[in-house]
Amino acid sequence: MTETPQTQSSATPTLAAQYQPGEVEQRRYEEWVRAGYFKASAASDKPPFTIVIPPPNVTGSLHMGHALDHTIQDWLTRRRRMQGYEALWLPGMDHAGIATQNVVERQLAREGLSRHDLGREKFVERVWQWKSESGGAILGQMRRLGDSVDWDRERFTMDEGLSRAVLTIFKRLYEDGLIYRAERIINWCPRCLTALSDIEVEHSDDEGELVSIRYSDEIVVATTRAETMLGDTAVAVHPDDERYKHLIGTEVELPLTGRRIPVVADAHVDPAFGTGAVKVTPAHDPNDFEIGQRHDLPSLTIMDERGVITAHGPFLGLDRFEARPAIVAALRAQGLIVAEKRPYVHAVGHCSRCKTTVEPRLSLQWFVKTEPLAKAAGDAVRDGRVRIEPGELAKRYFAWVDNMHDWCISRQLWWGHRIPVWYGPDGEMVCVGPDDQVPTGEGWRQDEDVLDTWFSSALWPFSTLGWPERTAELEKFYPTSVLVTGYDILFFWVARMMMFGLYAMDGKQPFDVIALHGMVRDEHGKKMSKSFGNVVDPLDWIERYGADATRFTLARGANPGGDVPVSEEWTQGSRNFCNKLWNATRFALINGAHVDGELPADLSPVDRWILSRLQHVIGEVDQLSDAFEVAKICDVLYHFAWDDVCDWYVELAKPVLAGGGPAAERTKRVLGHVLDQLLRLLHPVIPFVTEELWTALTGGETVTTAAWPSPVANLVDDAAEGELATLQRVVTEIRRFRSDQGLRPAQRVAARLDGLAAAGVAAHEPLIRSLVRLDEAGDGFSATAQLAVTGDVSVALDTRGAIDVAAERARLEKDRAAALKEAEQTRAKLDNPAFVGKAPEPVVRKIKDRLAAAEADLARIATALEALPPA
């Protein structure tokens, strides 16, 4: 038999009696970094594998979404590194324009200062100071999680090199007519005083008021933002709406203002919605702006940047939310309110940073013309250059890129990449690239705005590798291999990276695969939220249960594209799994398991069985890896490790090891090999405990660079697997029967085993008896209990004196009453339509599982009662 090459084993390997993550994780991580295992070289002749980390905000800290994202990326990177790839996982952070500026402004406010007191230059210096002293805490937290990133390549979106990339692509886009400046409706935050991108606006269903206002005897309009009527410049109706055809081209008087505004016909209006007539406020609504453009309507801005009314009249100086009820009251006083509906629940946008209600606002801003860029981004997926996993999410991607609006990229902030455009005293406008001379002379000034943070993040896959220079890193590691991220930013960051990557890199995609995962939720499938009180800090779990247990819990729920439920109970189970591995490996070392030399040729059916199972598991893990099925991989490895290796093979090996001789020596070698390969397979998802165990078992330097297992065809043994399946069934059924009969696990009972030869397991009778504590049926044997295990195998036991029949019958009757009560309660819940219809699906599924378990208990108890001998 053959196997993958092994390192030499240590002479006297030892492991502590218990696994203590806190004593292992930091030490091992520092050893890995110091040894340079995570470094990637552009000069390597190995095939490249590249992941650029979705850069967390410099203000951020590790949350469950990060922990999930990083666990998947680390699994991918560590596996490829073991497979012989030049694996680069590139770390870094985003400067997070709005979030970071808010942090520093709050800091200044505590000192009684504002950014304007400092001025732009001093304020930016203050932000850099904050970044160096307090920013980037998440990088240290990534180490706690075990991220195998190349720290020598850490980047920041405001680095000199990345800033050069920003200036380069801005000028190229500008010269190609793909960046322009114009007045458009944008999302505006009256608190942060800046435009926002779509990703920075969070929508929620808020309670408001819908008021219907009479504009004339024949026209009534409805609005949730009555204050905006001060900026109306028209009423629009559908051109084919018979109710209003005679009014098209006429004028009506706008209430409270005395202004007369036209009635225009526009196909955008839905005649079936409301009254079929809509107010048009071009400066404060994106749809109204488009109507205004089509009909050459004036745009009246009636609020300032803080949401304060600027229209002359009785409402001047009122905040927008003060003006709203005041205007409704004035209209009501004039008898112009036709109807009021409150509460009226509707979607309202909020700034993702400060939660202020966003205001649509007409503003002079910089935009990217997205149509040609978005088309290229869609084509790259359609023609197969980029694959989206899972494939069904490609439809959502196309729905976005095929209907993308131009992207507002200017922000009214001081922290960020300042727009590289200068304005001259005579109306000149010059775009300045990184190598261009900045205009000088009296009257020249640079644009005050900075670029949207997502603009620089969109360059991340290639700017971090040295673009715009043609570096060796860019040649080696671009396109990157996989982008791992949540489906929630598929439309925003992912699409933007696709657009800029294809544009800047001559049609080369920024990544080959987009692997999307869902959101982390609690065990009931509920979104984690501070208001729900169910937010979990992954660092807390790492502290209490270890990084491996935290990672394994997240990975076991990571089905592609699906949300990931987690609970502390599951993390405790993951910790128990790590402990199980520890105990099994410690047992193996104490009993002389090793990895020296070739696998023996003359192996027992038990040894051949576990080796055969191992080959199937290796093949299944590789197959699932290609589909990014992390959860299924963890499930396969969990059950192989816990069930096949620890619960069965180790137990089956104990009597062999205790017996000594050649058989024991062969089993020591097989046990060492199986654990060696299992620890390699598990390493990408639980790196710390596997490193500690593998180095102790093999004497090797590190498992991080050990070869990834490959299945060996001649180790597959269907006959041995069939034979052991029968043995397992016999042992399992006898153990269950003993338990049902009330026999203590260690109590030995005389028994007769019939049919083992017919079942093909006669050679295993001594092993079976050892595992289930059965003695030979000697003189005076009397069968008081009978069990049919399979069609061939039956067991007769002499339980006289072994159990108190009356007490056992009383125990079983008590258990039956409890199981019956559980079955009735769970069945009543499932028969209640109100419960089934309203309860979350995981809760309903849990009740169904409880009912099934109760029914199984009832059947088992009935069989046990029937098998009891007479009292």
Binding annotation for ATP: 530
Between CA 227 and CA 579 the distance in angstroms is 64
Q: Which residues are within 8 A (CB) of 117 and not within 5 positions of it... i.e. 6 or more apart?
A: 108
Query: Helices in 467-536 by DSSP H: which ranges?
Result: 472-477, 495-504
β-sheet bridge partners, residue 206? 346
d(Cα 112, Cα 99) in Å, to the nearest integer? 20
For residue 390, give the DSSP letter: S
Q: How far apart are CA 48 and CA 629, in angstroms?
A: 22
Which residue blocks in 591-708 are alpha helix, DSSP H? 605-626, 630-639, 650-659, 661-682, 687-698
Annotated binding site: 530
Radius of gyration of the chain (CA): 35
Work out the widest C-alpha separation in the chain, in whole angstroms: 117
407: which residues sit within 8 A by CB, 6+ positions away? 197, 367, 368, 370, 452, 496
DSSP character at residue 649: I
What is the SS3 assignment for 263? Answer: strand
Strands across the sheet containing 359-368: 194-196, 179-189, 359-368, 407-408
How far from 803 is each of 781, 782, 799, CA to CA, in Å?
16, 15, 7
Spatial CA neighbour of 602 closest among 677, 665, 672, 671? 665
- Quick check: 485 and 188 in contact, CB under 8 A? no
- 8 A C-beta contact, residue 248 and residue 327: no
What's the token pair of residue 144?
């706690």
Of 610, 667, 678, 680, nearest in space to 644 by CA: 610
- C-alpha span between 558 and 574 (Å, rounded): 15
- The structure tokens 């304060």 sit at 308
CA distance 311 to 302: 5
Report which of 554, 537, 685, 555 is spatially closest to residue 60, judged by C-alpha positions: 537
Among residues 539, 690, 567, 705, the alpha carbon closest in space to that of 19 is found at: 690
Amino acid at 224: T
Q: Which amino acid is at 505?
A: M
Euclidean distance between the first and the last CA atom of the chain, given in angstroms as a whole number: 57
Q: Quick one: three-class SS letters along 805-851? A: HHHHHHHHHHHHHHHHHHHHHHHHHHCCHHHHHHCCHHHHHHHHHHH
Please name which of 747, 825, 831, 751 lies closest in space to residue 785, comparing C-alpha atoms. 751
Note if the bond before 869 is cis, omega within 30 degrees. Answer: no
Return d(Cα 319, Cα 324) in angstroms, integer.
9
Strands in 330-465 per DSSP E: 337-351, 359-368, 387-389, 407-408, 410-411, 421-423, 429-431, 445-446, 450-451
Total Cβ atoms within 10 A of residue 518: 19
Classify residue 310 by burial, with Cβ atoms within 10 Å: 0-12, 13-18, 19+. Answer: middle
Spatial distance between the Cα atoms of 734 and 757, rounded to a whole number of angstroms: 17
The one-letter code for the residue type at 126 is: R
Prior bond of 870 cis (ω within 30°): no
Give residues with Cβ within 8 angstroms of 651, minimum separation 6. Answer: 771
CA-CA-CA-CA dihedral for 337, 334, 276, 262, to nearest 10: -160
